[in-house]
Amino acid sequence: MAHDDGADVGAITHRAYARIGLFGNPSDGYFGRTISCSIQNFYAEVTLVPDQQPFSSRVSFEPGPYDWNAFNSLGALAAHTEKHGHYGGVRLLRALCCRFHAYCAERAIPLHATGFCVSYKTNIPKQTGLSGSSSIIVAGLRCLLEHYDVTIPLEEQPALVLACERDLGIVAGLQDRVIQCYEGVVAMDFTDERAVRETGRGTYRRLPESCLPPLYLVYAENPGDSGKVHSDVKARWERGDEDVREKMARVADVARRAETALMETAGTTPEARLETLASLMNENFDLRRAMFGDEALGAMNIAMVTTPRSVGAAAKFTGSGGAAAVLCPKGDAQAAAMREACERAGFTVVPVIIHPAPSAA
């Protein structure tokens, strides 16, 4: 996709969109199943400008919105760091370049010597569990593929993106990278542990975007109570804790049953189908809450789910906390009541706009 202002000759611009984990998360990190969708509400955009100097192989990065290095005061520095953290997006793009170079070198894929400058921007709210970090990497990967005229099979791209984040010490699973690479709506099966460990991928099935009911996104503009979402669940699972293993398997089964409900076209009414999906969303969150505990999840995160549920809507985390996906099985009146309750509690509510899979996929 060409840069639309024409200011930079040969500029390449790509976007990667935020995602919602609809059913099954966090079992993707525990050899389970998930269903995720790509959404157009938020995105990261990366622009790569080939070096215009003949024979120049120079590579550089423009600081983005989270990479400020100059501040008006010490207080401004502290406020920016508290909101955005110590690290920005440039480190993600640098990690990507290293991994991309290694991938091509290992496979003897030739790369031309023309350098480039990379920049990024993003409107994905921070700390909302909408995969802001991986979106920058995915958009950057698409720019590199176009710049070097290299093809990496779609099924291999999520593992490469995940490797970039793990190089930086970011705790993550495959789900987010799969949906951001594939886009649309995807059901993912990671239950073959041996295959996932050996190949770095699960089994993925595209679902039609039309199978999803109307959804809403609830999030906090300035999340200040994110909790310690990962808690000790991973360690307990690895130790073989029976309670965690049993509950995580049930979370994975939620995704299996949700896929069946989404794809059912006969034998059920639309109203019954919505109630089934709503029940599964609530079950997903309740299992997660039972495993992680309220202290780990954080009061604000819990309120993002319990506030919509107070008017009969269904809700669960989109990721590890910071935002919730909401389904209103009773329709518009319930959605209006949900919006009023959430906005009164200080949350932002927006209708979800699904980003479709590429037509050629």
Please tell me the predicted confidence (pLDDT) of residue 268: 82
Cβ of 49: how many Cβ atoms within 10 Å?
22
Q: Which two tokens stand for residue 71?
A: 């501040």
The pairing of strands 185-189 and 116-122 is: unpaired
User: How many angstroms separate the Cα of 341 from the Cα of each of 287, 325, 345, 346?
Assistant: 24, 15, 6, 9
CA–CA separation, 299 and 288 (whole Å): 15
Please tell me the predicted confidence (pLDDT) of residue 94: 95
Please tell me the predicted confidence (pLDDT) of residue 106: 96
Instruction: Give the pLDDT band of residue 5 (cuts 50, 70, 90).
Output: very low
- Please identify which of the residues 28, 176, 189, 253 carries the catalytic annotation: 176
H or E element at residue 180: helix 174-182
Beta-carbon contacts of residue 131 (< 8 Å; ≥ 6 apart): 18, 19, 124, 176, 180, 319
Q: What is the rounded average pLDDT of the residues 81-94?
A: 81
CA–CA separation, 102 and 266 (whole Å): 50
Q: Which two tokens stand for residue 103?
A: 């991938």
Please tell me the predicted confidence (pLDDT) of residue 223: 59
Q: What is the rounded average pLDDT of the residues 267-276?
A: 90
Q: Which residue has the tokens 């979800």?
A: 352
Q: Which residue has the tokens 């005229």?
A: 149
Q: Are 287 and 296 in contact (CB under 8 A)?
A: no
User: 338-359: per-residue pLDDT in tens?
Assistant: 999 999 999 999 999 999 999 7
Instruction: Give the pLDDT band of residue 35 (cuts 50, 70, 90).
Output: very high
Instruction: Give the pLDDT band of residue 227 (cuts 50, 70, 90).
Output: very low
User: 157-168: per-residue pLDDT in tens?
Assistant: 999 999 999 998
H or E element at residue 122: strand 116-122
Please tell me the predicted confidence (pLDDT) of residue 2: 40
Instruction: Give the pLDDT band of residue 7 (cuts 50, 70, 90).
Output: low
Q: Are 181 and 160 in contact (CB under 8 A)?
A: no
Answer whether residue 191 shows pLDDT above 90: yes
Beta-carbon contacts of residue 74 (< 8 Å; ≥ 6 apart): none
Instruction: Give the pLDDT band of residue 89 (cuts 50, 70, 90).
Output: confident
User: 18-33: per-residue pLDDT in tens?
Assistant: 999 999 999 998 999 9
Q: Which two tokens stand for residue 14?
A: 């790509």
CA–CA separation, 118 and 61 (whole Å): 5
Q: pTM value?
A: 0.89
Q: Are 341 and 307 in contact (CB under 8 A)?
A: yes
Is 189 annotated in the active site? no
Q: At what angle do helices 157-167 and 132-148 cross, to 10 degrees?
A: 120
Please tell me the predicted confidence (pLDDT) of residue 131: 84
**Percent of the chain scored above 90 by pLDDT?**
71
Look over the chain and give the mean of its residue pLDDT values, rounded to a whole number: 90
User: 284-340: per-residue pLDDT in tens?
Assistant: 999 999 999 999 999 999 999 999 999 999 999 998 889 999 999 999 999 999 999
Answer whether residue 229 shows pLDDT above 70: no
CA–CA separation, 219 and 318 (whole Å): 10
Instruction: Give the pLDDT band of residue 8 (cuts 50, 70, 90).
Output: low
Amino acid at site 292: F
